[in-house]
Structure 1
Amino acid sequence: MSFALLGLTANKMFGQKIIRPLSASAIYGITFIKDTLIAIDQRKGFLLEIDPLSNNTKILNPHQVQEFTDVTGICLWEDTLWVTRKNSVYSCKLNSLALEHFMTLPYPADGIAVWGSTIYVSCQKLGGILIFDSNSRKQITQFYAPGVGVENLAVSEETLWVCDRTEQSVYAIDRATGEIQFSVLTPFESPTGIAVHTNSESAEKTLYIAYASEEAYVRDNPNADPSQEIAYRDKTFIHPLNYYYDPQKRFALSNGYRIEMSYLEEIAPLEEVHITDLEWHIALPSDTDRQKVISVESIGLPFTEQITDGQRVAVFKFDTLTPGERHIFGWKAILEVRGIKYRITPREVENIPELTEEFQTRYLVDNDDLSMDKGIVIRAARDAIGTETNLLRKMYNIRNYVYDQLSYGIKPYIDTPDVVLERGVGSCGEYVGVLLALCRLNGIACRTVGRYKCPNTAERQNVPLEPEFNHVWLEFYIPGFGWLPMESNPDDLGYESAHPTRFFMGLCWYHIEIGKGISFESMISQSVKLKKEDIAIGDLAINHIRFTILDELPPL
């Protein structure tokens, strides 16, 4: 795999270390003075000077805390500090910190970046990034905001960097035209600030992202019985964002992790059975542009490996499985996984080739109880795309239609798309079923992908982690480009406004791709008893899934 690194590489001095400012509650805007990090604690109003190596923290504005409370964006140009606070933009000299009013917007000003005499201000309510001249204080132009959430800004040379809190993304924008060059997913949720650090010795540049949210924890309360209770606390830190962009394949990779994943079955039948000539198939992790399988080994019992529709599958064989017999068996894999985000525009798919006959036969048919012949599903497929003919826009419209029609809810079994559409509530698997049905009825080849997500706690390394649920999403096919990922339900946030697109043609590092387009697990036997009673895997065994995040990957 070859990649073109555009502009920013890992900073050797700071490394991959997470910066955790002492006493900070909610870091928003960040900027650098040489190797010193400057950050604003939006809730406390502290303008903080932070040593990235030691986390040592100093308050720079001990007498102006009230004036800096609710500041969300900061940036430095020469000796002038620029800030956004509520609806206004201010500037001040670093040696005095006396804020001077620059201009006021009709809505809150979120983030700010300055390059020379040009000032960039993001405003979610206006849906754009406003550009001003610092000398005349007049607006020069306006760019469309690349995401739907609150955005913060940084600028370096010809690139305007935009981090979007809801989209969990950073966009690289041409600061002259506003055109999006590419975007990358951040490894953590809720990015609230962004800055570019330039190494004083090597001139290498590194993006740093601030994050601010809350986390739940178990609190020991001696005045309660029982003493353990759930509480919430602030969570804020700063972390380097590494990215690699491949313009030929049209995707960008971001921070990744080396993960150990184990999947095993424990024979524990609800009712004792006797089965002969049993083959137990369990799909293995896939090698993809964002996921590399370093090693796979068996657990409990040995397996042979076979290829099914291009996917690796572990095959465990039992000559006889008798009543009272117990086994554990499965696999353990070491994986390297990264975030990936594709950048393909509708214009690029205007003149794509037709689907091959093989793809039409495999990926445009109802081969998984998709209810594609039911009236409610046929009407939904028609209503979802309207008069749209562009494949990428059709896919985007179908996704949004399903998000508008469904709300997320967990169930112990999967209903067919007609039942799900009628009910209006679905699990991730039911979202996938509806999406598959509507896509295939509209001539878009698609397939199911999954099967698990590593718990999204990248800072908890070398600690065994267990996911609460399995998970599935899908891939859709664009002739001439290939298979592209799309999440099932996480982008359906239930808002009335536009849905985020962070996982539309993108996956974060914690998605583990296993068995693309094939069954994750199945049993095959010549036993007549097995065929008659149709024993479900869940009635015969209990699965155990464990993840361990070993370390963060270095830049490629």
Structure 2
Amino acid sequence: MLLDSNPSTRPVNADNPFTVPDLQRHTIRPFGVYVLNGLASTGENLIALDTIRGYLIQVDCLNDSTTVLNPHHLEQFMDATGLSIWQEQIWFARDEQVYWCTFEDLTPRKFISLPYPVNGVAVKESAVYVTCQKYGYILIFNRDTGSEITRFPLPGVGEENLSIRDEELWVCDTLERSVYCLDRATGELQFSILTPYENPTGITFHPDPFTGESILYLCYAQEERYIRDNPNRADDPYELAVRDRTFIHPLHFHYDAEKRYTLSNGYLMEMSYVEELSPLEDVTLTDLEWRIAMPASTDRQKILHIEPIGMPYEEEIQNGQRVAVFRFDRLEKNEGRIFGWKALMEVRGIKYQLNFRDTEDIPVLTEEFQQRYLVDDDELAMDKPAIQWAAREAIGTETNILRQVLKIRNYVYDRMSYGIKPHIDTPDVALERGVGSCGEYVGILLALARLNGIACRTVGRYKCPSDPDRRNVPLEPDFNHVWIEFYVPGYGWLPMESNVDDVIEGGPYPTRFFMGLPWFHAEISKGIPFERIAAPNLPEEISIGDLSLNHVRFTILEELPPPQAT
């Protein structure tokens, strides 16, 4: 045996020149498949279903080798979803029907029919679990008789697939980009996990062939845009095209029952924020102080190192947040400078696990928090009758703080659509218009929450482009971004996205980023301005945008090992 020099790989045979990957971080990319929409394990082999070709495939986790198991039964498996294997039986769904067959005889046999399309199937012993998005339930049937035993509400709002481990029912949701662990007997949610990629379409547990450790695998199905070189267009050969992208990847998770959150896949990345002086106005400033907030250390974000770019800074702490302060004795008109910071950090997905029962009886908000986080400190129009009326209408008679925040979010989503504007209007103007940017969503959410006695603050500032496969290349976000955190007395601050979950006209809206953040959010400024300037002779009409251009860069270096208990 040879031992590869890379510690993330495993021993390989001397006759095999290919490195054996670290399966905890290896992406499996089967050959010749288009849309995987079902995943299962026999204990020895990983099995997947390509809904486009009708392939039932066996995949080698080590080298992606792909074998079609049903070469003569493709038509029967086309458009199929929800793969499950129980002993020698193969279970799947197609349209409104659930079918089963065996490995020896791949002719499908109908088990049940529903009035609506079936999305997922899981089987254990005498129970068959079936998901149906349009029904809104997980339906449980007797495998021998086909009669319904009971049903559980679906934990999410998208199409959901299933797997079973011991007494746990595991559910992945395409729209929520989440996995839910439920009690198999009662359907009660134990915890949920955010996935590193969007649109998970299959889920299973499969043993590592070297260690025997169980790995939670998800398959994903997406479309990606790319630049195609079209030889038939000699004058302008480059065109935008779309292709299928489907793969299998481990989902890491660590549920901290004491702290009430679940961490998932994470990445080591560099982030830099740099200002380039490029004045639009001829202005000379003296004793200029330029403050830029720096990334924060949080439950999901660990700062390993920060260093200056271009010129040194002094670090200050403002309301518990780190701020880089650059000082200029004199800044001449048309002067050229580059300055900022670069951070090395670990980021993960996080989902907090508080539920409505946990917040039925909470302490009263302290006087300090009332004075700091219930005031109109950012042109929130909290004195306007329209905003005060909206704050009352949004929560109605609800008294539970989690339900109040969720109702406020849904109220705003019902009345707003996302759109980029050159400036941010006050909440009364934005709410009346019905279209707003993330900053305007945040303003309305802050105003309605604070008027209802819920302490909250603005958080931002940037999101890394969210494809974790694009590693070791500079990635630049298109926009800045802000969201909010709300405070639950007796527990602490919880995140909530501003506009991102407003994806279904009229709802139901996903709750993936309600008390959760994906790995690609960079938490920088919490309750303080991200950037500001001050000088004795600074004209009132001059802003940062009049003086400089910003440059934001992310570089994803590697996927982190699975999270561990701390």
With the shorter chain as reference, the TM-score category is over 0.9
Contact 1:285 1:512 in 2 (8 A): yes
> Offset of 1:330 from its aligned partner?
0.2
Name the SS for the 1:96 alignment partner: coil
Alignment partner for residue 545 of structure 2, among 531, 538, 543? 538
Q: 1:23 aligned to 2:32?
A: yes
Q: 1:476 aligned to 2:486?
A: yes
Q: 1:443 aligned to 2:453?
A: yes
Contact 1:280 1:522 in 2 (8 A): yes
Inter-partner Cα distance in structure 2 for 1:547 and 1:12: 26
2:291 maps to 281
Inter-partner Cα distance in structure 2 for 1:376 and 1:309: 32
1:124 maps to 133
Contact 1:486 1:505 in 2 (8 A): yes
Q: 1:148 aligned to 2:164?
A: no
> Offset of 1:12 from its aligned partner?
8.7
2:320 maps to 310
Name the SS for the 1:52 alignment partner: coil
> Offset of 1:36 from its aligned partner?
2.2
Contact 2:24 2:215 in 1 (8 A): no
Alignment partner for residue 263 of structure 1, among 238, 250, 273? 273
Inter-partner Cα distance in structure 1 for 2:342 and 2:22: 35
Alignment partner for residue 551 of structure 1, among 558, 561, 565? 558
1:215 maps to 224
> Offset of 1:136 from its aligned partner?
2.2
* Cα deviation 1:319-339 (Å, max 9, x = unaligned): 111123211000000010000
Provide structure 2 residue ranges, at least 5 long, that are not aligned to the other structure: 1-19
Contact 1:432 1:473 in 2 (8 A): yes
> Offset of 1:28 from its aligned partner?
0.7
> Offset of 1:271 from its aligned partner?
1.7
Contact 2:316 2:324 in 1 (8 A): yes
Alignment partner for residue 418 of structure 2, among 401, 408, 413? 408
Inter-partner Cα distance in structure 1 for 2:506 and 2:488: 29
* Cα deviation 1:435-494 (Å, max 9, x = unaligned): 000000111000000000000010010011000000000000000110000000110003
* Cα deviation 1:216-271 (Å, max 9, x = unaligned): 11112233342222111111111000100011111100000001000000011002
* 1:456 maps to amino acid: S
* Cα deviation 1:275-324 (Å, max 9, x = unaligned): 11111000000000000000000000001100000000001111111123
Q: How many residues align?
A: 543
> Offset of 1:511 from its aligned partner?
0.4
Inter-partner Cα distance in structure 2 for 1:282 and 1:391: 33
Inter-partner Cα distance in structure 2 for 1:35 and 1:468: 44
Contact 1:35 1:199 in 2 (8 A): no
Contact 1:407 1:494 in 2 (8 A): no
2:188 maps to 179
Inter-partner Cα distance in structure 2 for 1:395 and 1:511: 21
2:63 maps to 54
Contact 2:23 2:208 in 1 (8 A): no
Contact 1:190 1:211 in 2 (8 A): yes
Contact 2:502 2:509 in 1 (8 A): yes
2:518 maps to 508
Matches within 5 A, 1:195-206: 195-199=204-208, 202-206=211-215
1:3 maps to none
Contact 2:273 2:342 in 1 (8 A): yes
Name the SS for the 2:552 alignment partner: strand
| Higher mean displacement: 545-554 or 370-379 | 370-379
2:6 maps to none
2:14 maps to none
Inter-partner Cα distance in structure 1 for 2:133 and 2:228: 36
* Cα deviation 1:376-435 (Å, max 9, x = unaligned): 111111111111111111100000000000000011111110110110000000000000
* 2:542 maps to amino acid: I
Inter-partner Cα distance in structure 2 for 1:53 and 1:496: 45
Alignment partner for residue 376 of structure 2, among 363, 366, 371? 366
CA pair 119-13 structure 1, distance change in 2 beyond 3 A = farther
CA pair 34-494 structure 1, distance change in 2 beyond 3 A = closer
Inter-partner Cα distance in structure 2 for 1:327 and 1:12: 45
* 2:442 maps to amino acid: V
2:42 maps to 33
Matches within 5 A, 1:2-13: none
Provide structure 1 residue ranges, at least 5 long, that are not aligned to the other structure: 1-10
Provide TM-score, normalisation by structure 1. Answer: 0.96
1:111 maps to 120
2:508 maps to 498
CA pair 461-49 structure 1, distance change in 2 beyond 3 A = same
> Offset of 1:57 from its aligned partner?
1.1
* 1:538 maps to amino acid: G
Name the SS for the 2:526 alignment partner: coil
> Offset of 1:272 from its aligned partner?
2.2
